């Protein structure tokens, strides 16, 4: 049957595929739109298979909170090139997936993958876009935080984003943003020293002792020196003990508790494509 420009335009709106791909798909499907969509999807699978061994190290990292600020989520959608990462439609796809995850209240990447976006499972949407874009795409991460107040921060360029939870709802918006930016800039490994995993502490103590030993310090002093270096590690690597980037005379704990003695951070998530 004859394929009209209107048919091609309709399929393009349905799939986002290019004009020639849509025309070929309709011709192959003899004008059947459902079959044509399946043709485009299968093309995506073929391209995905060919690109499977490629590295998808570019992409976007986005974060967002719900309207009541009680929940925040962060999503990472990878691609192969910065050119694609900066494409408005690619960013919009990542945003729509993030919005969907927040709306449906899922908490894991696996749960997000099977949600339906415009009637198609997210994992299949990704596959379709691989065929359309011609690059390996990968939904690499989805993180969620729930708290009395959650704030999100996206660093300009969409390569780095954070979400931070607080134990109180009435946190000043600028203060909350400052803490989210602190997490982005300083990459803490935990909220405070009590939440640092024991294996990390053990490793830092061992490193501290080895450094002291290499400096020629007496064996009986190694443990004490290592403990001192561990204290420095906590100040540099845990959020509440880090020096506030806008005023290094204050720790983050001092900064936020200057407004409310009971205010604290309950958790955070950070993702960067650069480290």
Pair 184, 64 in one domain: yes
Pair 80, 112 in one domain: yes
Write out the residue range of the structural domain in which residue 11 sits.
5-51
Report the range of poorest mean pLDDT among 15-19, 104-108, 270-274.
15-19
Pair 73, 183 in one domain: yes
Separation between Cα atoms, residue 122 and residue 138, nearest integer Å: 11
Pair 67, 187 in one domain: yes
43: CATH: 1.10.8.10
Separation between Cα atoms, residue 63 and residue 269, nearest integer Å: 10
**pTM to 2 decimals?**
0.79
Tokens 């946190």 -> residue: 171
Which one of 14, 35, 51 terminates a domain? 51
Higher pLDDT, 220 or 171: 171
Examine residue 221 and state whether it is found in any structural domain, yes or no. Answer: no
pLDDT tens-place string over residues 45-98: 545 555 556 677 899 999 999 999 999 999 999 999 999 999 999 999 999 999
DSSP code for 187: -
Mean pLDDT, residues 223-247: 92
pLDDT greater than 90 at residue 44: no
Q: Nearest Cα to 158, choosing from 216, 233, 257, 74?
A: 74
Pair 82, 45 in one domain: no
Structural tokens at position 249: 């005379």
Pair 99, 178 in one domain: yes
For 16-146, where are the alpha helices, taking DSSP H only?
Answer: 19-28, 33-51, 82-85, 88-104, 109-114, 122-133
At 179 the pLDDT is 98
At 56 the pLDDT is 73
Structural tokens at position 224: 């004490």
**In 10 A of CB 67, how many CB atoms?**
7
At 211 the pLDDT is 85
The number of folded domains in the chain is 2
Share of the chain above pLDDT 70, in %: 92
Pair 87, 129 in one domain: yes
Examine residue 110 and state whether it is found in any structural domain, yes or no. Answer: yes
Pair 116, 75 in one domain: yes
170: CATH: 3.30.479.20
Pair 47, 63 in one domain: no
In Å, what is the CA distance from 58 to each residue of 38, 45, 139, 257? 28, 21, 12, 38
Examine residue 68 and state whether it is found in any structural domain, yes or no. Answer: yes
């Amino acid at each position: 049957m004859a394929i009209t420009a209107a048919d091609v335009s309709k399929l393009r709106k349905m799939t986002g595929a290019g004009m020639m791909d849509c025309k070929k798909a309709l011709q192959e499907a003899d004008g059947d739109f459902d079959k044509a969509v399946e043709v485009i999807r299968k093309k995506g699978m073929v391209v995905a298979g060919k690109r499977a061994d490629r590295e998808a190290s570019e992409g976007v990292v986005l974060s967002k909170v719900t309207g009541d600020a009680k929940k925040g989520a962060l999503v990472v959608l990878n691609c192969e090139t910065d050119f694609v990462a900066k494409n408005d439609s690619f960013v919009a796809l990542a945003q729509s997936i993030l919005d969907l995850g927040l709306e449906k209240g899922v908490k894991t990447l696996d749960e997000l993958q099977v949600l339906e976006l415009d009637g198609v499972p997210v994992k299949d949407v990704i596959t379709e876009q691989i065929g359309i874009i011609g690059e390996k795409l990968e939904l690499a991460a989805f993180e969620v935080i729930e708290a009395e107040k959650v704030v999100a921060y996206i660093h300009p360029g969409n390569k780095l984003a954070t979400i931070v939870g607080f134990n109180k709802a009435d946190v000043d918006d600028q203060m909350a943003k400052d803490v989210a930016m602190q997490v982005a800039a300083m990459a803490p490994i935990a909220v405070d020293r009590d939440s640092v995993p024991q294996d990390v502490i053990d490793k830092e103590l061992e490193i501290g002792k080895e450094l002291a030993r290499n400096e020629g310090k007496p064996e009986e002093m190694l443990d004490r020196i290592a403990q001192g270096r561990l204290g420095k590690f906590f100040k540099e690597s845990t959020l509440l003990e880090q020096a506030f980037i806008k005023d290094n005379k204050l720790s983050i704990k001092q900064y936020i508790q200057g407004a409310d003695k009971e205010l604290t951070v309950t958790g955070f998530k950070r993702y960067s494509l650069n480290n």
